[in-house]
């Protein structure tokens, strides 16, 4: 299951610096099947210490982490929803991602011009959010125009139901409320999913600060956090410049550089973990002497569905899943000892996968 996030932001907020750092980090994932998909997409590994431990236990020929794709989306300007600047390109690309990562400038630097001439993170966020809302509103209004007569005049039951959902979305957008914050029912969300609406996508704000400001919140970060709290969104602090420097270092040197400024984890790693949580994603593993690999799945998926993430044949011919937990393996040290302790189990197709499960799928096609 591929995880995709779109990096958005106004010009000169540090978006390109961050993306360049991400692209360079692909070098660190040389054993991953792919590194760069296309010029505007970068792939980084999802940090997971459990994978290192499994590699230590199995000594596999190769270790493959699960990956995270970042799409560098064209810079946004006012009027993007009506095609200003690269607006149409921006909006079409952002519809393809799972989550929006909005880079917000929270630093002062007289050498870097701000497109709006001064630093105001809340204003910058609202410029983008308004454009996303207007783009969604255009889609909603267009659909309403097509079915309104059928719903109101012909009293078509299906059209009436659709019309009510669209009206609910329209009213929210006109009030400036992102659709992800509207209390839609499960069926309503399923219906709206087909429109790939921008404000339905979860969002994380990246406060781009100077390297020395990472250990504390400056006034601009505090403003952004207050705004995000009202949206029930998360803010991650990051120094795009420092991420670029980190991308050239080995893991040990990275940790040393972060420790030198009082930071335990890079902003990029924090972002990946936060997005994982936001999207309700978890990880299971397959492990053996040939390969140790991490697989991303959606929380609530069953064993049969998770088998299909590896290959469709695994799902079609699913028989059983032989499972042990990561923690049990660490506790007992080897697969054999886990089995001797009675901690290995066979699960059927309806078993709900748990984060950290180590699986061997039995199937027959």
DSSP 175-229: TT--GGGS---HHHHHHHHTTT-GGGS-EEEEEE--GGGTTS--HHHHHHHHHHH
pTM of the model: 0.81
Burial grade of 322 (CB within 10 A; 0-12, 13-18, 19 or more) = middle
CA-based end-to-end distance of the chain: 22
Burial grade of 113 (CB within 10 A; 0-12, 13-18, 19 or more) = exposed
Q: How far apart are CA 239 and CA 254, in angstroms?
A: 14
Q: How far apart are CA 333 and CA 53, in angstroms?
A: 11
Dihedral, 209, 264, 67, 61 alpha carbons, nearest 10: 150
Q: Which residues contact 307 (CB under 8 A, 6 or more apart)?
A: 314, 315, 318, 321, 359, 361, 363
| 5: β partners | 70, 99
Three-class secondary structure of residue 262 per DSSP? coil
Dihedral, 85, 87, 92, 95 alpha carbons, nearest 10: 140
Q: How far apart are CA 39 and CA 93, in angstroms?
A: 14
Q: How far apart are CA 135 and CA 266, in angstroms?
A: 34
Q: How far apart are CA 188 and CA 168, in angstroms?
A: 10
Phi-psi region of 25 (alpha: psi -120 to 50; beta: other; left: phi over 0): alpha
Q: What confidence score (pLDDT) does residue 86 get? A: 41
Q: Which pair of structure tokens corresponds to residue 335? A: 């697969």
**Kind and range of the H or E element at 122?**
helix 121-152
Q: Which residues contact 28 (CB under 8 A, 6 or more apart)?
A: 44, 45, 247
Q: What is the block-wise mean pLDDT of the chain (365 residues), using blocks of 10 residues?
A: 80 80 53 43 85 96 89 62 48 79 89 77 92 89 88 78 93 93 94 91 94 92 95 92 86 88 87 86 95 95 97 96 97 96 96 97 92
Residue with tokens 């994932």: 29
Q: What confidence score (pLDDT) does residue 91 get? A: 67
Write phi, then psi, for 203 (nearest 5 degrees).
Answer: -130, 145
Write phi, then psi, for 101 (nearest 5 degrees).
Answer: -110, 110
Taking each helix axis as running N to C, give the angle between helix 157-174 and helix 121-152, from 0 to 180 degrees, rounded to the nearest 10.
Answer: 160
Q: What confidence score (pLDDT) does residue 187 get? A: 93
Q: Which residues contact 171 (CB under 8 A, 6 or more apart)?
A: none
Q: What confidence score (pLDDT) does residue 78 get? A: 60
- By 3-state DSSP, what share of the chain in percent is helix, strand and coil, each rounded to 5? 45, 20, 30
Q: What confidence score (pLDDT) does residue 30 get? A: 36
Number of H helices, E strands in the chain: 14, 13
């Amino acid at each position: 299951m591929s995880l995709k996030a779109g990096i958005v932001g106004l010009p000169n907020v540090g978006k390109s610096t961050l993306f360049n750092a991400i692209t360079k980090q692909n070098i660190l994932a040389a054993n991953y099947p792919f590194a760069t998909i296309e010029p505007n997409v970068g792939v980084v590994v999802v940090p997971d210490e459990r994978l290192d431990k499994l590699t230590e236990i199995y000594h596999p020929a190769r270790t493959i982490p699960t990956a995270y794709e970042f799409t560098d989306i064209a810079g946004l300007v006012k009027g993007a929803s009506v095609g200003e600047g690269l607006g149409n390109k921006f909006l079409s690309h952002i519809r393809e991602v799972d989550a929006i990562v909005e880079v917000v400038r929270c630093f002062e630097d007289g050498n870097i011009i701000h497109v709006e001439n001064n630093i105001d993170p809340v204003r910058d966020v609202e410029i983008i959010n308004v454009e996303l809302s207007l783009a969604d509103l255009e889609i909603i209004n267009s659909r309403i125009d097509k079915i309104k007569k059928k719903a109101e005049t012909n009293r078509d039951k299906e059209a009436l139901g659709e019309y009510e959902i669209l009206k609910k979305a329209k009213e929210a957008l006109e009030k400036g409320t992102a659709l992800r914050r509207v209390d839609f029912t499960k069926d309503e969300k399923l219906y709206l999913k087909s429109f790939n609406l921008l404000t339905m996508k979860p969002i994380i704000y990246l406060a781009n600060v100077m390297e020395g400001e990472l250990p504390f919140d400056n006034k601009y970060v505090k403003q952004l956090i207050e705004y995000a709290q009202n949206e029930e969104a998360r803010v991650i602090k990051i120094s795009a410049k420092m991420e670029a420097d980190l991308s050239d270092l080995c893991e040990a040197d990275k940790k040393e550089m972060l420790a030198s400024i009082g930071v335990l984890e890079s902003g990029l790693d924090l972002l990946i973990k936060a997005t994982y949580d936001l999207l309700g994603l978890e990880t299971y593993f397959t492990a053996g002497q040939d390969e140790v690999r991490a697989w991303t799945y959606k929380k609530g998926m069953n064993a049969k569905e998770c088998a299909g993430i590896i290959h469709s044949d695994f799902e079609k011919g699913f028989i059983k899943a032989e499972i042990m937990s990561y923690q049990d393996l660490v506790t007992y040290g080897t697969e054999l000892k886990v089995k001797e302790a009675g901690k290995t189990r066979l699960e059927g197709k309806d078993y709900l996968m748990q984060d950290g499960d180590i699986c061997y799928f039995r199937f027959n096609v």
